[in-house]
Amino acid sequence: MPQYQAPLTDMQFLLHDWLNLESHYQNLGLQDFDQELVNEVLSQGAKFAEQVIAPLNREGDEQSCQLKDGKVTTPEGFAAAYHEYIANGWNAMLGSAEYDGQDLPYSMAVPVHEMLNSANVSWRLISMLTESAVLAVNKHGDKALKNTYLKQLISGEWTGTMCLTEPHAGTDLSLLSTKAQPLEDGSYSISGSKIFISGGDQDWTDNVLHLVLARLPDAPEGVKGISLFLVPKFLVNSDGTLGQANTLSVGSLEKKMGIKACPTCVMNFDQAKGFLVGAPHKGLACMFTMMNDARFQVGLQGLGISEASYQGALAYARERLQSRAPQGSINPDGKADPIIAQPDVRKMLLTQKALTEGCRALSLLYATQMDIEKNADDDFAKHDAASVLAFLTPIAKGFMTDVSQEVSHLGVQVYGGHGYIREWGMEQLSRDSRITQLYEGTNGIQAADLIGRKLSRDDGHMLTATLKLLQGLISKINNSDAASQAAAILDEWHKLSWQVKKQPAIDLAGAAYDYMHYSAYSILGVLWLSMADRAQASDNQSIKEGKKSTCAFYLKRILPRKELYKTNLLNDASDLIDVADALFDYQ
């Protein structure tokens, strides 16, 4: 596998040409940010990703993490890379200036996050969760809590974790049993065991802040009786120095299929001191601030892995000489042609490319909506952006990670048997990608969220706001054929969405996954037509022609997938429900 190279040309085309970032910033009053600054941040981010963390990725997978005498050790070089990361301010990109953050627009940070994920998703996971923790503490914590923890969390001096899952409570958080007892000093005593805690401990920082869901003694049953607590590994003295160790520990590290260089911990809280975040019993809503961010970020992990896999496959397909091309030799002096000449290999590569670049466009469009939600003066604009984000979050998470599994699968396939050998790195991408479909809510849960909540609630406003955003893109398409093709895709999706919305809950549950994919392929169709049209005005010939041909490929060979999902959308779920449980096997 070749050294990762950040796809700066594509990112800059999308941000500046396609999304017109400077005028977007001006509209939001973000005068400090211009094209030059964006490009500078991107190019510095690329350097860090390419030169510092990408080289650690393969060896990190082999070394994985160790737990000895209660202490976690991460692979060689990981801690040093993290120290460089925070020293250069990368962790603080999005943090509030009030707590020494840089308050950069999301649209500047998101492409950098993609690069980090391409380079080393195991390494990235801890700082990713820290950023999500910042959001929850910033939005729901009281002043004292923020003053004690937020600066260090934003700078990355301390890291954050998300402690939801328990052995018997994963998807269904109503079952969680970790307990919180109020103490006289206004803090709480937290007891219970949490599993699947990414970065539950590490050898990078002096402190770790756990955001823990637990039940107060008087809590109502179910999800309405869950509260959120910040539980630090080391208690913090009033002068900000670290005090005594809290009564929590790492029970064990999970042995996993992938992301082996990230410590996934069983965390035991044994009357550990914790601090309430937000109101009692409102913890789930507070945690959702963290979780929604994490869901999008997991989508970005998927995107990052897709890009890395495509780069690996493309390089190999260009250099691996086997057989002759059916259309005539392209390397007549060599013993064989590079396999990129084979139509079937080209189809795999173009599938990777069309999906990866489509997801990148989606991620950056999403980032601009985050900018608007955070910075717009206009409350309606803010609300619309929030509605778009709500609608697109399960798609970004569910679809971009499903894509990454497909794309990294194809990456292995292009390498043939060599793809299965660890040293090439292609199979690692596929294993690392696999977790993204499972954590932060499985993709089935994302699909259920999309069809059951996002589509149905709020009188369809989330759908309408998303429609409006996409119509805006279509209105800027110059080529009239492309514009009507995009409008037709959007129109069909919109109409079908309203029909789907009327179905009973059981049928929605049966059609959820189909609806998520139908929507995603439709939306990507609009994005491709819009991008390819914009690319025709580009000075860069490879952008101009490359976007055009990849769009044609998407429309011809990928978009038809939506028809398959469509067939099941309006089906009732009777065939699923009516099968007696006993019939799943034979007696």
Kindly state the tokens that stand for 227: 């509260």
| Candidate list 312, 425, 510, 525; residue touching a copy of itself; CB under 8 A | 510
Which residue(s) pair with 257 in the sheet? none
Long-range contact list for 62-67, CB < 8 A, 24+ apart? Answer: 62/422, 63/261, 64/260, 64/261, 65/253, 65/260, 65/261, 65/262, 65/263, 66/253, 67/250, 67/252, 67/253, 67/263
Among 512, 523, 527, 529, binds a copy of itself (CB under 8 A): 512
| CB-CB contact of 302 with 433 (8 Å) | yes
Q: Where does this chain touch a copy of itself (CB under 8 A) — which range of 27-35, 70-78, 104-112, 539-547? A: 539-547
Of 184, 357, 440, 492, the active-site residue reads 440
Give the closest residue to 427 by CA, choosing from 443, 414, 441.
414
CB of 166 to a copy of itself, least distance (A): 11
Residues contacting residue 418 through CB under 8 Å, at least 6 positions apart:
316, 424, 426
Binding mask 436-475 for a copy of itself (x = CB under 8 A): -xxx--xxx--xx---------------------------
- Going by their DSSP bridges, the two strands 248-253 and 242-245 should be labelled as unpaired
Instruction: In angstroms, give the least distance from the CB of 33 to a copy of itself.
Output: 24
- Contacts (CB under 8 A) with a copy of itself, residues 384-413: 405, 409, 412-413
Residues numbered 337 to 366 that lie near a copy of itself (CB under 8 A) are: 339-340, 342-350, 353
| Encoded tokens for 393 | 């979050």
Of the two residues 43 and 88, which places its CB atom closer to a copy of itself in the complex?
43
Cα 580 versus chain centre, distance: 37
Asked whether the CA dihedral 398, 403, 408, 413 is positive or negative, the reply is: positive
Q: How would you classify the pairing of strands 158-163 and 234-236?
A: unpaired
Specify the residue, 495 or 557, whose C-beta has the smaller distance to a copy of itself: 557
Of residues 513-532, which lie at the interface with a copy of itself (CB under 8 A)?
A: 513
Indicate the residue among 143 and 335 with the shorter CB distance to a copy of itself: 335
Distance CA 134, CA 151 (A): 9
Nearer to a copy of itself, 207 or 442 (CB): 442
CB 465 within 8 A of CB 388: yes
Q: Which stretch binds a copy of itself (CB under 8 A): 6-14, 45-53, 151-159, 230-238?
A: 6-14
| Per-residue contact flags (x/-) with a copy of itself for residues 246 to 275, judged by CB under 8 A | --------xxxxx-----------------
Q: Print the binding letters for residues 72-101 with a copy of itself: x by CB under 8 A, - otherwise.
A: ------------------------------
Give the nearer residue to a copy of itself in terms of CB position, either 412 or 463: 412
Size of site (CB under 8 A) for a copy of itself: 106
24 or 431: whose CB is closer to a copy of itself? 431
Q: Which residue has the tokens 């260009």?
A: 318
Which residues inside 107-166 make contact with a copy of itself, applying CB under 8 A? 165
- Name the segment binding a copy of itself (CB under 8 A); options: 76-84, 268-276, 333-341, 480-488: 333-341
Choice from 336, 381, 386, 570 touching a copy of itself (CB under 8 A)? 336
Q: In this complex, which beta carbon is closest to a copy of itself, that of residue 249 or of residue 568?
A: 568
What φ, ψ does residue 168 adopt, rounded to 5°? -110, 15
Is the Cβ of residue 142 or residue 563 nearer to a copy of itself in the bound state?
Answer: 563
Q: Binder to a copy of itself among 144, 321, 488, 537 (CB under 8 A)?
A: 321
Q: What is the SS3 assignment for 474?
A: helix
Give the C-alpha separation, 434 to 91, whole Å. 25
- List residues bridging with 68 in a β-sheet: 71
- List the x/- string, 189-228, binding to a copy of itself by CB under 8 A: -------x--------------------------------
Which residue in 37, 87, 175, 245 binds a copy of itself (CB under 8 A)? 175
Q: At which residue do the structure tokens 């109503």 appear?
A: 174
Cα–Cα distance between 211 and 40 in angstroms, integer? Answer: 34
Per-residue b or e along 460-492, where b marks 16 or more CB atoms closer than 10 Å to that residue's CB: bebbbbbbebbeebbeebeeeebbebbbebbee
Interface of this chain with a copy of itself, residues 413 to 442, rule: CB under 8 A: 413, 416-423, 427, 430-431, 434-435, 437-439, 442
Amino acid at 235: L
User: In the bound complex, what is the minimum distance in angstroms from residue 565's beta carbon to a copy of itself?
Assistant: 10
Residue with tokens 């600066």: 151
CB of 376 to a copy of itself, least distance (A): 32
Return the C-alpha torsion angle 80, 83, 85, 91, nearest 10. Answer: 140
CB of 211 to a copy of itself, least distance (A): 18
Which CB atom, from 27 or from 540, has the smaller least distance to a copy of itself? 540
- Here the tokens at position 490 are 């959007």
Do residues 200 and 268 touch, judged by C-beta distance below 8 A?
no
Residue 35 CB, nearest approach to a copy of itself (Å): 18
By CB under 8 A, tell whether 3 contacts a copy of itself: no
DSSP string, 105-116: -HHHHHHHHHHH
Cβ closest to a copy of itself, residue 217 vs residue 583: 583
- C-alpha 423/C-alpha 425 separation (Å) is 5
Q: Could you tell me which of 250, 247, 245, 246 has the C-alpha nearest to residue 267?
A: 250
Q: Which of 144, 488, 537, 577 binds a copy of itself (CB under 8 A)?
A: 577
Least distance in Å: CB of 445 to a copy of itself? 9
Q: Which two tokens stand for residue 417?
A: 């048997």
* Residue with smaller CB distance to a copy of itself, 429 or 486: 429
564 binds a copy of itself, rule: CB under 8 A: yes
Tell me whether residue 563 is one of the annotated catalytic residues.
no
Encode 58-76: b = buried (16+ Cβ within 10 Å), e = exposed.
bebbebbbebeeeebbbbe
> What residues from 21 to 80 belong to the interface with a copy of itself (CB under 8 A)?
none
Q: With the CA atoms of 84, 85, 88 and 90 taken in that order, what torsion angle do they form, in degrees rounded to the nearest 10?
A: 180
Give the active site residues: 440
